[in-house]
């Protein structure tokens, strides 16, 4: 049976973490997601991050894990699988090398998400799987970073990602495996310094429950249950300090008991415990409850919602940003109508016919004037800057980069040398969206509700506009179209306009 047959629709989420890769597959049963398969492969990408470059060995480990995941995803369509990468691939300067190699073994695009987006999705994974959502703080300790999210009623109000993780902390303070009280104290102080902004953001918030996700929290909880407090219901500072004392007594990571700490967790547990103690101290926590749901569950729930309800969180983000920056809604609608008309004519021929490409174009049309909130002079630069740096839930890092670049060049001179390198998209897709948006803006430059284009036709790289009489009599519009025709030509395209 196909993974997406009507009688048993399935969804899959794959999380490429700094410690491990996690795959979860769930099926839809009476409107609810029921997990049917979970797969975890220790990879320790963060351990192979030398400076800001992934080592060949780390890349090889990652690709081998992806090959195993690919086998388990045979039969799935691209709209039922989402793959996200986190801190290590965010930092790696040679991530394009990894992503290019990954594309050869895994037939699904890998989205490198921001730290705040990771926190949002982790929160969603937890909030969808708890009975009451009345003010919970969710903490995820990964290999390279830790994410924090606070919210209630399934709506997050505080999101933060800090570059302190179990592997990173172990490498910085316990790289040779030696453990001492002095090293531990230094590590905890460092962690507290790094997460002080989180404490400030949570000031005044009424935290009624604290949940900890990720393998580090689970491993420490199992450790406490086995050796310290067999009836533990959650983790307390006393539990964590008892674990710390055991580590200091062991003096070296190689002396840890394998029945307490597994081999794959041994390389990061010391730093992970230091991170958790630092978090407890800085946020003044009393108890933390381990929770099974994490990033992959959040990705899974969002993916299923998008497919089943046709509700895309990115659409809400576009609307929210337009409202925040007081975008002229009437003008944005005019530009989008024209852009949509152009897109529908060229999408198939120009091979940009997909939901993602259409949504990105919609975002550029509705947000290209956000920079007017700064100044009308150089609005395209201001808009591009805002969209490059704004928090945009639902958009992965590369989608946001593409959207910001299209908006950056919606008018004035094009500078192809400033186009970013992209892995999920190719340069031709970026260029095509820029040309469509520029043309839509020009056609609506008078900011009036006038019918100027009767039809659009396309043949390979040639785009032909059928202009109404009003358009042909508009000398300013004619001059603008001449300028755009020159821009089209520089990029290898041809723009014609004829009487309808």
Taking the C-alpha atoms of residue 64 and residue 290, their distance in angstroms, rounded to an integer, is 30
Does residue 356 sit in the same domain as residue 463? yes
pLDDT at 72 over 70: yes
Does residue 479 sit in the same domain as residue 408? yes
Convert the pLDDT of each residue in 111-145 to its tens digit: 999 999 999 999 999 998 887 778 999 999 998 99
Residues 6+ apart with CB under 8 A from 19: 42, 43, 44, 45, 46, 142, 143, 166, 167, 215, 216, 268
Is residue 58 assigned to a domain? yes
Does residue 261 sit in the same domain as residue 368? no
Last residue of a domain, one of 260, 291, 322: 291
Average pLDDT, the chain: 92
User: Given the structure tokens 């003010």, which residue do they identify?
Assistant: 135
Taking the C-alpha atoms of residue 338 and residue 344, their distance in angstroms, rounded to an integer, is 10
- Residue 397 near residue 90 (C-beta atoms within 8 A): yes
Convert the pLDDT of each residue in 285-306 to its tens digit: 999 999 988 999 999 999 988 8
- Residue 149 near residue 138 (C-beta atoms within 8 A): yes
Is residue 461 assigned to a domain? yes
Does residue 425 sit in the same domain as residue 468? yes
Q: What pLDDT sits at residue 6?
A: 41
Spacing of C-alpha 462 from chain mean position = 35
Q: For the chain, what percent of residues have pLDDT higher than 90?
A: 79
Is residue 229 assigned to a domain? yes
Is residue 3 assigned to a domain? no
Taking the C-alpha atoms of residue 295 and residue 273, their distance in angstroms, rounded to an integer, is 21
pLDDT at 29 over 80: no
Does residue 144 sit in the same domain as residue 254? yes
Is residue 298 assigned to a domain? no
Does residue 321 sit in the same domain as residue 395? yes
Last residue of a domain, one of 256, 291, 326: 291
Residues recorded for the chain? 500
Convert the pLDDT of each residue in 437-478 to its tens digit: 999 999 999 999 999 999 999 999 999 999 999 999 999 999
Is residue 122 assigned to a domain? no
Q: What pLDDT sits at residue 85?
A: 95
CATH number of the domain that 146 lies in?
Answer: 3.30.420.150
Convert the pLDDT of each residue in 202-218 to its tens digit: 999 999 999 999 889 99
- Full residue range of the structural domain in which residue 354 is found: 312-499
Taking the C-alpha atoms of residue 458 and residue 462, their distance in angstroms, rounded to an integer, is 6
- Give me the number of domains the chain comprises: 3
Does residue 32 sit in the same domain as residue 99? yes
Residues 6+ apart with CB under 8 A from 211: 126, 130, 136, 137, 138, 139, 288, 289, 290, 291
Does residue 231 sit in the same domain as residue 329? no
Q: Smallest Cα–Cα separation from 246: which of 215, 273, 268?
A: 273
Q: What pLDDT sits at residue 1?
A: 36
Does residue 203 sit in the same domain as residue 330? no
The average pLDDT across 75-103 equals: 93
Q: How confident is the model at residue 427 (pLDDT cuts 50, 70, 90)?
A: very high
Q: Picking from 38-47, 99-108, 483-492, which range would have the lowest pLDDT averaged per residue?
A: 38-47
Q: Which two tokens stand for residue 98?
A: 């990894």
Taking the C-alpha atoms of residue 308 and residue 300, their distance in angstroms, rounded to an integer, is 12
The average pLDDT across 314-321 equals: 92
Q: What pLDDT sits at residue 8?
A: 61
Q: What pLDDT sits at residue 499?
A: 83
Cross-strand pairs, 10:
27
Q: Which two tokens stand for residue 87?
A: 């801190």
Pair type for strands 289-290 and 209-213? parallel
Q: Smallest Cα–Cα separation from 368: which of 444, 450, 477?
A: 444
Is residue 92 assigned to a domain? yes
Taking the C-alpha atoms of residue 237 and residue 98, their distance in angstroms, rounded to an integer, is 40
The average pLDDT across 75-91 equals: 93
Does residue 172 sit in the same domain as residue 199? yes
Is residue 121 assigned to a domain? no
Does residue 94 sit in the same domain as residue 156? no
Q: For the chain, what percent of residues have pLDDT higher than 70?
A: 98
Q: List the beta strands (DSSP E) in 291-396.
A: none
Q: What pLDDT sits at residue 405?
A: 97
Rg (CA), the chain: 26
Question: What are the residue ranges of helices labelled H in 203-294?
Answer: 215-227, 237-250, 263-266, 269-283
Q: What pLDDT sits at residue 7?
A: 43
What SS3 state is found at 331?
A: helix
Last residue of a domain, one of 233, 258, 291: 291
Does residue 93 sit in the same domain as residue 144? no
CATH number of the domain that 92 lies in?
Answer: 3.30.420.40
């Amino acid at each position: 049976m196909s993974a997406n047959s009507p009688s048993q629709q399935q969804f899959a989420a794959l999380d490429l973490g700094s410690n491990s890769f996690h795959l979860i597959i769930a099926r839809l049963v009476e409107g609810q997601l029921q997990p049917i398969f979970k797969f975890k492969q220790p990879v320790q990408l963060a351990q192979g991050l030398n400076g800001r470059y992934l080592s060949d060995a780390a890349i090889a480990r990652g690709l081998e894990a992806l090959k195993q995941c690919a086998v388990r995803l045979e039969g799935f369509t691209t709209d039922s699988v989402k793959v996200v990468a986190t801190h290590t691939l965010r930092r790696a300067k040679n991530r394009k090398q990894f992503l290019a190699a990954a594309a050869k073994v895994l037939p699904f695009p890998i989205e490198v998400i921001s730290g705040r987006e990771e926190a949002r999705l982790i929160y969603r994974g937890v909030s969808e799987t708890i009975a009451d959502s009345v003010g919970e703080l969710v903490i995820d300790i990964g290999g390279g970073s830790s994410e924090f999210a606070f919210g209630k009623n399934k709506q997050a109000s505080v999101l933060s990602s800090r570059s302190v993780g179990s592997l990173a902390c172990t490498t910085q303070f316990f790289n040779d495996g030696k453990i001492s009280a002095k090293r531990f104290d230094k590590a905890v102080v460092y962690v507290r310094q790094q997460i002080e902004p989180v404490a400030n953001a949570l000031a005044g918030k009424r935290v009624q429950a604290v949940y900890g996700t990720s393998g580090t929290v689970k491993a420490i909880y199992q450790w406490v249950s086995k050796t310290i407090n067999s009836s533990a219901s959650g983790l307390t500072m006393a539990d964590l300090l008892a674990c710390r004392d055991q580590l200091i007594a062991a003096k070296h990571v190689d002396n840890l008991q394998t029945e307490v700490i597994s081999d794959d967790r041994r390389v990061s547990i010391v730093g992970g415990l230091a991170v958790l103690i630092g978090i407890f101290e800085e946020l003044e926590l009393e108890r933390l409850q381990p929770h099974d749901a994490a990033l992959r569950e959040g990705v899974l729930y969002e993916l299923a919602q998008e497919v089943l309800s046709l509700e895309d969180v990115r659409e809400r983000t576009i609307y929210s940003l337009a409202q925040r920056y007081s975008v002229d809604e009437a003008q944005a609608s005019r530009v989008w109508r024209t852009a949509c008309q152009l897109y529908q004519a060229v999408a198939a021929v120009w091979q940009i016919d997909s939901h993602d490409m259409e949504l990105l174009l919609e975002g550029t049309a509705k947000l290209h004037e956000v920079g007017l909130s700064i100044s009308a002079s150089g609005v395209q630069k201001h808009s591009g800057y805002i969209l490059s740096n704004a928090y945009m839930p639902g958009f992965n890092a590369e989608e946001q980069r593409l959207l910001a670049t299209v908006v950056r060049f919606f008018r004035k001179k094009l500078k192809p040398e400033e186009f970013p390198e992209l892995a999920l998209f190719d340069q031709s897709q970026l260029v095509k969206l820029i040309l469509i948006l520029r043309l839509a803006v020009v056609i609506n430059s008078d900011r009036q509700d006038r019918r100027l284009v009767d039809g659009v036709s396309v043949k390979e790289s040639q785009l032909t506009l059928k202009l109404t009489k009003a358009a042909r009599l508009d000398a300013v519009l004619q001059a603008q179209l001449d300028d755009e025709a020159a821009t089209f030509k520089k990029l290898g395209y041809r723009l014609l306009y004829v009487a309808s």
